[in-house]
Amino acid sequence: MRGALVLCHGVVLALAALPTARGTVSREALAQPPVQTELRLWGERLGASPRELEEFVLKLAETWDGVYAVINRPADRYFAWTGTYQAWAVFVAPNRWPTRFQIQVHPSRALPGEFQTVFEEGTERYAWQGTFFSQERGRVYFELQTWPRFAWLGPSVCRWAARKLFAERPDIDGVRCRSYRAPSRSPEQVARRETPPGEWLYIDEVWR
């Protein structure tokens, strides 16, 4: 009996550990700059166009995710209870287009469009709620909101920041959250002192 149970646990975990996209692959997700860069780099290695690769990836992910779901369905309840799920992924690919999250406030007496930064990722100067945002569980919001599937996270984080800031500072009437996206620098670009331009994205504003 013990032998069968331990074997069952091992097999179930091993099957769940098989790689899976878990429904994260979509045309929208593949259109994101980090994925497009990956497709281009793989295309160069394999001699295929990014477009061809994209179609292949979409088909493969759809088929394999279906097979994966069928294989693992009998164990769904086991994982739901025990939490011993194995197919999580860490740093599947480096993000060559990282974003930097920023929170700004608009003083009531300031001109429209004149915002002051209170939080910016990776800086010590702007560190409002810095201890929370320095935690892994805080940082995950910034990362996930840049993916179409979790785009709703951005406005939620901004609404939360606005609630807190409005309570703390009666002198402000608006909060703006946004992310700066720029491609990471290659060693060659660093040597040439080149800084590729970026752009502000995912802009959310909350007014009192």
Binding stretches for another protein (CB under 8 A):
2-3, 6-7, 9-10, 13-14, 17-19, 38, 41-42, 45, 82-96, 98-101, 121-123, 129, 131-132, 134-144, 150, 153, 156-157, 160, 163, 184-187, 190-191
Minimum distance, C-beta of residue 113 to another protein, in the bound complex (Å) = 25
Minimum distance, C-beta of residue 111 to another protein, in the bound complex (Å) = 30
Contact at 8 Å (CB) between 174 and 150? Answer: no
Give CA–CA dist 201/184, Å, rounded. 16
Closer to another protein by Cβ: residue 22 or 114: 22
Closer to another protein by Cβ: residue 38 or 105: 38
**Tokens representing 120?**
């910016």
How many alpha carbons lie under 13 Å from residue 62 in its C-beta half-sphere?
8
3-state class of 127 per DSSP? strand
Minimum distance, C-beta of residue 110 to another protein, in the bound complex (Å) = 27
Closer to another protein by Cβ: residue 70 or 90: 90
3-state class of 30 per DSSP? helix
Minimum distance, C-beta of residue 72 to another protein, in the bound complex (Å) = 13
Minimum distance, C-beta of residue 66 to another protein, in the bound complex (Å) = 18
Minimum distance, C-beta of residue 123 to another protein, in the bound complex (Å) = 8
**Nearest Cα to 97, choosing from 146, 133, 137, 141?**
146
Per-residue burial over 163-188, b if 16 or more Cβ lie within 10 Å, else e, is: eebbeeeeebbbbbbbbbbebeeeee
Give CA–CA dist 105/14, Å, rounded. 49
Give CA–CA dist 70/109, Å, rounded. 60
Closer to another protein by Cβ: residue 107 or 164: 164
Closer to another protein by Cβ: residue 82 or 116: 82
Closer to another protein by Cβ: residue 64 or 107: 64
